Structure 1
Amino acid sequence: MKMKKLIILLLGLGLFSCERFLDRSPDQGVTESEVFTNYESYRAFNDQLYAYLDDYFDWRRRFDSGSFSDETENNSNWTVQNDMNAGGFYSKPGNAQQHEIGWEMSSHGIGSRSPVIANGFQAIRAANISIERIELLEDATQQQIDELLGQAYFMRAWHYFQILTRWGGMPEMSASFTPDTDFNLPRRNFVESAEDCLNDLDMAFELLPIKWELNQLGRVTKGSALGLKEMIQLYMASPLMQQHSGNSATYNHELLKAAMKTQGDLFRNAGEYGIALLNGNNYRDIFYSEFEPANSEYIFWRHTGVRSAQDVKNHFIPQSYGGANATTGPTQNTVDRYEMITGLPISDPDSGYDPSNPYENRDPRFYNNVLYDGAPWGMNGETQLYIETYTDGREDKLPINQRSLTGYFVKKYWPEGSNRWENRYGMHYMPWVFIRYAQVYLDFAEAANEVYGPTAAAPETGISAVQAINIIRNRVGMPDVNAKYTSSKEAFRDRIRNERAVELCFEGHRWFDSRRWKTADQDYKTLRKVVITKNGDDATYEYPEIPNARNFTERNYWYPIPLEEVSKNENFTQNPGW
């Protein structure tokens, strides 16, 4: 399907799914009037908004956004990975249907098999249609009408936000366009565009329920609306988005205060919404569970049911353990962010870090999230198995497209027992989570530190940035942030960002965080791996650079908009450098 104009994405891509559904002939039992007058069919139409949500665990993706950043290195040789890391992004016409960077729907359909941007445009149109047709609904209660509208407003905000974080500011998209619409619309900046999201979320908050019945698990709630609103407000206030909006590349304090107000509302009412941090003893259960499809830490997620064996095998499990590709390998940069159990970074001379035993006495989250050489993992009968990424070790000898390129594997999303010996594949719930409660504390700490400094209580919440970070650290057994790092907001800013990278690793945040902070060009300069040489019981550790890993320059802070489409709208400007 070819676009006619840039903004006609809303029409062309939207018609691909919505109008085909509506235009079925009467002999198929569906007409437009029937869809929007009957509650059950209306809800079915509205529910497709969830189908447009992304799922980075889908095995067909074979990459994660962390592999565009310094978080992970990917062993797949797919076009999307190569082009992103070379700095070209989707400058090649053949990339139009590539997952993260494309702009046209894949022939495979909606959801995780089509690009995020294309899904976003289709979802926005579907949401607009749902909102506009609500007066046609005849057999619904007021509560049902509110629920339909609340979900449509929420999803319109979410999908528009996904486009904004990649392309920057966009024209207004709050109506379902028709062929008679004037598409020669001016492009707005990021903050102006994101205001539309906030307005939608205010509507969603008023209309959505506090909770749903258990058989409706995964639908968005009032808590979801607050969680997304504060996230968008933080993005709006961030240096990259402020620069896009004509300001200096620094934080906007007024927008940060607005974010903290929303965060305060969520903190105060979290219990009522059923939102809470999990206990540190159950930390692993946040990320996958054999028995529970969701937990209290999830604010907004894609409900996928039991995760397929293919999804886990392709992303995380090497062939030596019965997997397939194990495409995602944490970098040494990521490993080095985990502090010692003393609460000090490994670069601190007082931390207790021993270069000859680099994996001892680290932050407990390291042992939950990363598999390193010598880590116990898996059982063959009564025999304990250990990861072997040292030179000529079992995992090191795998073909290049089936082993870790960094010397590490992801443990966070590799369910225990999922291997060739225990054969516990396909037995765990592992949804892709967009927002969880720990993130809100980290978002708040970032905002509060910039406005009030590390230790002053923010009036919007009653707690300080340091207290918020310590809540996240203490629950896993880490001590409070050492006082030497809380003397200034500049010093504490680095620790907040490090804490965020540790707590949210492999969850799809690092790529977007380092871009909105405008630190990506520095963060991605050097990516490192570990090379371990063993001689009997002795081991040496080297940390060479991964050659030609990233080519990130100023223009890469925003994705390019297809040139052929920009040229068709005289009021629409291309992103800088493209």
Structure 2
Amino acid sequence: MKRNILYILLFSSLLESACQKDFLNKNPTDAYSNGSLWSSQSDASAALNGCYAGWESDYNIIYLDAVSDNSYSQFYWDNYQHLGNGTANPSDLNTASRWDYTTIQKCNWFLANIDRVTMADKLKAQYKGEARFLRAYQYFIMSQLYGDVPLVIKSLTPAEAATVTRTPAADVRKFVTDELAAIATDLPASYSGSDVGRVTQGAALSLKARMELYDKKYADCIADCKKIMGLGYTLFPSYQDLFRIANKNNSEVILDIQYKANDQPNGDMGIMPSSSFGGWSSLSPTQSLVDAYEMTNGKTINDPASGYSENDPYSNRDPRLSASIVYPGLKYEGKYYNSIEANAPDYYNGNNNSPTGYIEKKFTSNLSDFTDIWNTGMNTIVIRYAEVLLTYAEAQIESGIMDNSVYSALDAIRTRAGMPVVDRNVYNSLDKLRTLVRRERRVELALEGLRWFDVQRWQIGPAVRSGVVYGTRLGTVDAATGKLTLTGEHIKVETRSFNAGRDYLWPIPQKERDLNKSLPQNAGY
């Protein structure tokens, strides 16, 4: 997308000063007046680019799995640990991380002024569609995490901003799906050149289908998935290479956050590796996630016929395990990873090492891809085609349909990863298929920030996010061969609690309620 020097110098400070998180009412104040700003198409383009700046962050996406049973955030100052273990309160810094009207205000301001620009109607409609999508996305996120949130679609006066109330989540979500339906046909199916990364028709339909699945509007979801399937997206041939920087903006990517080293870098790749690889191990995959991966024969590890061995737990597993997670004995960056011996540099209780003994690999499968892991051009995928296929399969199953299209969607995902097709003799009922598609969602989309939404909408929090969080077993790793010898117990990382009457929603940040006395708190906080 065109985030050029003109935009950075001319509009960034203007838009940012206009859109502080705690103020919904301010108009831009800068040497460049609102009157002179909207004089040309290039002005409108630069202002729209300002709406894109910061619309989503790789940080919030990759950390969101730590709120689920997939991952553990070891540093409380990263603002996700308390949300993951059930101890968050309204005064925590972390509760403010997604209550954010900055992008919404930018888009409201853009939409209030764009009609002042003389430009082609079709392009103007596209620009409006992009801004409306970015605004709708924020309302999707906030309504998903907080429930009722103020629905603000225009600039407010100071008095209005101080008294705005929370809109019922159902109304917010209807607004979002209506917006996405309205703008889809105004958006291109694809872009080229420097416009690659802008919001497409596929992005609008995919976010709409995601919301419809979450809200149990299965018929609408299926219809939108079919539209997306006709837009030309395909699964990238290699699951592991799908997430490499050399393959960004590939045929599977529907929506992502664009980054460029030095200019607008993604600075979070370094949080994943452990200390001997120059990283911090800020996020650590859990044993629960590792156990979710099937054996290569398509059987789960708790099936007596699977061939699984507790003393050799990583052999003959779904290839997505080794593509997503570095486990003890796996060769990574030229050496066999060892987090289970006290004298090893990556030992699990060492500084900047993983407390679970596992580190994230999905986005850093080849550290040599990056000159500097803290300054990369690695894009962050927000929506990809595999999710759409899984969404379609789940919506069909929940509609009582288990036809060949459901199996075909799952087969495509599994065979791309190197797994066998779905065994029709085993998965021969809606209940069994439901179990399968839920597991496929977990392992296929692991560490991509979607697991918490699944836990939330399936209402499985007490079952999966309470009790002890475990890591790998202890033992030894042969430095020359990688041979694994496990002799100890599983690492105990933390004990979590889950209050089903409270923890499916995050607390409204106290600082927001201090500013606006009309914002009631979510139940239990």
What range describes the TM-score normalised by the shorter chain of this pair? Answer: 0.7 to 0.9
Within the alignment, does 1:37 sit opposite 2:39 as a pair?
yes
CA distance in 2 between partners of 1:81 and 1:66 (Å)? 9
Contact 1:344/1:482, CA 8 A, preserved across alignment:
no
1:527 maps to 469
Q: Describe how 1:481-496 pairs up with structure 2 within 5 A.
A: 481-483=422-424, 485-496=426-437
1:378 maps to 333
CA distance in 1 between partners of 2:220 and 2:161 (Å)? 34
Query: CA 1:131 to 1:423, structure 2 compared with 1: closer, same or farther past 3 Å?
Result: closer
CA distance in 2 between partners of 1:478 and 1:329 (Å)? 25
CA distance in 2 between partners of 1:510 and 1:34 (Å)? 46
Contact 2:66/2:81, CA 8 A, preserved across alignment:
no
2:315 maps to 360
Residue 44 of structure 1 aligns with an amino acid whose one-letter code is A
CA distance in 2 between partners of 1:424 and 1:567 (Å)? 41
1:288 maps to 244
Q: Describe how 1:496-535 pairs up with structure 2 within 5 A.
A: 496-525=437-466, 526-534=468-476
Query: CA 1:429 to 1:549, structure 2 compared with 1: closer, same or farther past 3 Å?
Result: farther
2:103 maps to 123
Which consecutive unaligned segments of at least 5 residues does structure 2 have?
1-17
1:256 maps to 218
Within the alignment, does 1:270 sit opposite 2:231 as a pair?
yes
CA distance in 2 between partners of 1:182 and 1:395 (Å)? 53
CA distance in 1 between partners of 2:489 and 2:272 (Å)? 22
- Matching residue within 538, 541, 544 for 2:490: 544
Post-superposition offset of 1:182: 8.1
Within the alignment, does 1:451 sit opposite 2:430 as a pair?
no
Residue 132 of structure 1 aligns with an amino acid whose one-letter code is A
Contact 2:475/2:485, CA 8 A, preserved across alignment:
yes
Q: How many residues align?
A: 501
Contact 1:332/1:528, CA 8 A, preserved across alignment:
yes
Residue 492 of structure 1 aligns with an amino acid whose one-letter code is L
Contact 1:101/1:116, CA 8 A, preserved across alignment:
yes
Contact 1:80/1:89, CA 8 A, preserved across alignment:
no
SS at match of 1:270: coil
1:434 maps to 382
TM-score of the two chains, using structure 2 as the length reference: 0.87
Residue 35 of structure 2 aligns with an amino acid whose one-letter code is S
Contact 2:356/2:493, CA 8 A, preserved across alignment:
no
Q: Describe how 1:106-505 pairs up with structure 2 within 5 A.
A: 115-118=97-100, 121-138=101-118, 140-179=119-158, 181=160, 187-237=166-216, 255-267=217-229, 269-271=230-232, 275-279=233-237, 282-290=238-246, 292-306=247-261, 311-313=268-270, 315-321=271-277, 323-379=278-334, 385-397=335-347, 400-418=350-368, 425=373, 429-453=377-401, 455-456=402-403, 463-464=405-406, 466-483=407-424, 485-505=426-446
CA distance in 2 between partners of 1:355 and 1:565 (Å)? 49
CA offsets per residue over residues 115-157 of structure 1, 9 Å max, x none? Answer: 3322xx121122122112122113x222331221011111111
CA offsets per residue over residues 438-485 of structure 1, 9 Å max, x none? Answer: 0011111111111124x235xxxxx22x32212110112211223454
Contact 2:474/2:490, CA 8 A, preserved across alignment:
no
CA distance in 2 between partners of 1:423 and 1:399 (Å)? 28
Query: CA 1:68 to 1:442, structure 2 compared with 1: closer, same or farther past 3 Å?
Result: same
CA distance in 2 between partners of 1:205 and 1:130 (Å)? 19
CA distance in 2 between partners of 1:335 and 1:179 (Å)? 50
Residue 439 of structure 1 aligns with an amino acid whose one-letter code is E
Query: CA 1:324 to 1:185, structure 2 compared with 1: closer, same or farther past 3 Å?
Result: closer
Residue 307 of structure 2 aligns with an amino acid whose one-letter code is G
1:561 maps to 508
CA offsets per residue over residues 266-324 of structure 1, 9 Å max, x none? Answer: 11x221xxx22111xx222211133x4421111111001249695322x1122212x13
Post-superposition offset of 1:545: 6.1
CA distance in 1 between partners of 2:523 and 2:347 (Å)? 44
Query: CA 1:372 to 1:12, structure 2 compared with 1: closer, same or farther past 3 Å?
Result: closer
Contact 1:417/1:425, CA 8 A, preserved across alignment:
yes
Residue 577 of structure 1 aligns with an amino acid whose one-letter code is G
SS at match of 1:531: strand
SS at match of 1:339: coil
- Overall identity of the aligned pairs, in %: 26
Query: CA 1:545 to 1:256, structure 2 compared with 1: closer, same or farther past 3 Å?
Result: farther
1:24 maps to 30
2:20 maps to 13
Contact 2:266/2:379, CA 8 A, preserved across alignment:
no
Which consecutive unaligned segments of at least 5 residues does structure 1 have?
1-10, 103-114, 238-254, 380-384, 458-462
CA distance in 1 between partners of 2:286 and 2:489 (Å)? 10
